[in-house]
Amino acid sequence: MYLLNNEDQKMFVDQLRKMVADKVAPRAAEIDEKGEFPWDLKEIFQEMGLLGLSVPEEYSGTNQGHIFTCLAVEEIAVACVSSSLIVQGQSLGWEPILIGGTEEQKAKYGPIVSNGDVIISYGLTEPGAGSDSGAMGSRAVKKGDKYIINGNKCFITNGPVANIITLFAMTDPSQGVKGISAFAVPTNAPGFSVAKVEHKMGIKGSPTGELLFEDVEVPEENLIGQPGKGFIYAMKTLDTSRPVIGAQACGVARGALELAIKYAKERVQFGRPIGNFQGISWMLADMAAEVEAARTLVYQAAQLIDDNNQNKSYLSAASKLVASNVAMKVTTDALQIAGGYGYMKEYPFERMMRDAKITQIYEGTNQIMKLVISRELLK
């Protein structure tokens, strides 16, 4: 278990666990079954200040360090990964503004992101540009004091319910990734539409969509930071967000482990609880050790981000790689321990396994994580 460093962290986690037990856990199965965004939980998170965890206090946020964002996402994901994406997605969408935006932009968007007046999403991926951002087809053309944006984005977390999209588009295609710029695009702008809401294997309560931008006009002031710096902002954002996905992975793994332990103590076969059989007890031991190792790596990476350490890219990718693999293995093993019941929807094991899979894919696939890690090693 990650050792909480101070009383603020301990108090924060205690409050989270009580809230998750009272409000999130009872809703998790229904959220998955209906595939609906949990607006009621969003309001609770809003009241607790969880939507402003990545926003510094000078911009009306509740930021006390990246570790707090990881703690919040992990604790919520223990019960419901979909709900944890409300906090994670808000942090992800805001981060490019924090990294590259002007003081005026931070002062404008910080308060409304932090207090939950808007949901903000991160718009990078396209049908033809997933891991390869240089293949981006979205265009932003400057005309006078405005930019005209055309293109489409896919797999955008919370995109269908977002009020603002942190959008990445080519302003100079001849420069490749150096021609990408970032914009804050309101979704009530004429020409914006949600083309498709995806039907997914897991995280069904977090709407994922394909977004269309057809001659969408935004004022020049909506250009985040400098033109041509969008790719840098995007990659620096992913450095900060990957440990959050690692924390999410640790959360769902922890939740599955705790339920597997409970099941192994209660399920009786051959006259005794199945947890008394070495085959099961050793599975639980391996699962616990793997979760502890992943959590240690995740929070070490989060600390490096808070310290702006030069090794943060390396450890950020490593933490996401390891934690997501642990999440997939532990949820699969937990389902196995529950046997036939684990395969049934009346138990949460199959949902947790489905939800865990996405952590190996978004914020950069685990194959991309290996590229990032190896490049850092070979520098």
Active-site residues, by number, are 363
What is the rounded distance in angstroms from the CA atom of residue 301 to the CA atom of residue 292?
Answer: 14
What region, left, alpha or beta, does residue 277 occupy, with left being phi > 0 and alpha being psi -120 to 50 degrees?
Answer: beta
CB proximity list for 188: less than 8 A, separation 6 or greater: 163
Cβ atoms 47, 321 nearer than 8 A: no
Show the tokens assigned to 68: 């707090």
Residue 205 burial (C-beta neighbours within 10 Å; 0-12, 13-18, 19+): buried
Q: Inter-axis angle of helices 81-100 and 230-266, to 10 degrees?
A: 160
Helix (H) or strand (E) holding 246: helix 230-266
165: β partners: 121, 185
Strands 208-219 and 192-197: what pairing?
antiparallel
CB proximity list for 175: less than 8 A, separation 6 or greater: 228
What is the rounded distance in angstroms from the CA atom of residue 374 to the CA atom of residue 198?
Answer: 33
150 phi/psi in degrees, rounded to 5? -135, 140
Concatenated DSSP letters of 129-167:
BSS-GGG---EEEEETTEEEEEEEEEEEETGGG-SEEEE
Cβ atoms 119, 89 nearer than 8 A: yes
181: β partners: 169
Q: How many CB atoms are closer than 10 A to CB 270?
A: 8
